[in-house]
């Protein structure tokens, strides 16, 4: 009788144990987070998979007569990012060692949360300016995966004029 009671109690305890181990990439309903941290080697390798679509444009402003469009290329190669926009010097900067990750569950559909997320990279640059802020935007879980990012925004300051452009990202290889 005691053996049967112990077996039943052990079964009940183990039944709930599966819920005690959370998925590292999963997000909770109504999740919101913003953190700045060192990029791990795996995350840097994911960034190297990011590919820019061939077209970019200035972010529209009320003062602008028209929106400039550009042919764009961009990629992380080794330890250097290079983003080229037609008609401008290429922007180059060292691959950042730290980044800010922002994620929020917008609760747009029931089920497992799918975050709107941003990866924000910033620092010193060379080219059309001396400072950059590159924001990769997309949807997914709490982990950094190149496939999750679909859009980008780039702000360049410290040059002849402030440059703010945006574009799409291609599916990584």
pLDDT number for residue 1: 52
Give Cβ neighbours of residue 66 (< 8 Å, ≥ 6 apart): none
pLDDT number for residue 173: 78
Q: Is the pTM of this model over 0.85?
A: no
The pair of structure tokens assigned to 100 is 């800010």
**Element spanning 135, H or E:** strand 131-140
Longest pairwise C-alpha distance within the chain: 85
First vs last Cα of the chain: how many Å apart? Answer: 60
pLDDT digits (tens, 9 = 90+) for 51-102: 999 999 999 877 767 789 999 999 988 899 999 999 999 999 999 999 999 9
pLDDT number for residue 20: 44
Decide the pairing of beta strands 98-105 and 91-94: unpaired
The pair of structure tokens assigned to 113 is 């949360």
Q: How far apart are CA 119 and CA 128, in angstroms?
A: 22
pLDDT number for residue 112: 78
159 phi and psi angles, rounded to 5 deg: -115, -165
pLDDT digits (tens, 9 = 90+) for 35-56: 999 999 999 999 999 999 999 9
Q: How far apart are CA 166 and CA 173, in angstroms?
A: 21
Q: How far apart are CA 12 and CA 19, in angstroms?
A: 12
Q: How far apart are CA 23 and CA 47, in angstroms?
A: 22
pLDDT digits (tens, 9 = 90+) for 107-143: 887 777 889 999 999 999 999 999 999 999 999 999 9
Q: How far apart are CA 1 and CA 111, in angstroms?
A: 42
């Amino acid at each position: 009788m005691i053996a049967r009671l112990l077996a039943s109690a052990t079964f009940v305890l183990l039944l709930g144990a599966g819920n005690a181990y959370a998925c590292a990439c999963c997000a909770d309903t109504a999740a919101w987070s913003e953190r700045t941290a060192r990029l791990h080697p795996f995350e840097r390798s994911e960034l190297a998979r990011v590919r820019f679509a061939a077209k970019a444009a200035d972010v529209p402003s009320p003062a602008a007569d028209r929106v400039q469009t550009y042919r764009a290329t961009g990629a992380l190669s080794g330890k250097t990012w290079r983003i080229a926009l037609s008609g401008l010097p290429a922007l180059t900067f060292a691959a950042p060692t730290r980044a800010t990750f922002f994620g929020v569950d917008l609760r747009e559909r029931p089920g497992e949360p799918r975050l709107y997320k941003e990866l924000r990279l910033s620092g010193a640059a060379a080219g059309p300016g001396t400072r950059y802020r590159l924001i990769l935007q997309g949807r997914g879980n709490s982990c950094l995966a190149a496939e999750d990012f679909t859009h980008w925004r780039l702000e360049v300051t410290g040059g002849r004029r402030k440059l703010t452009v945006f574009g799409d990202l291609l599916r990584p290889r």
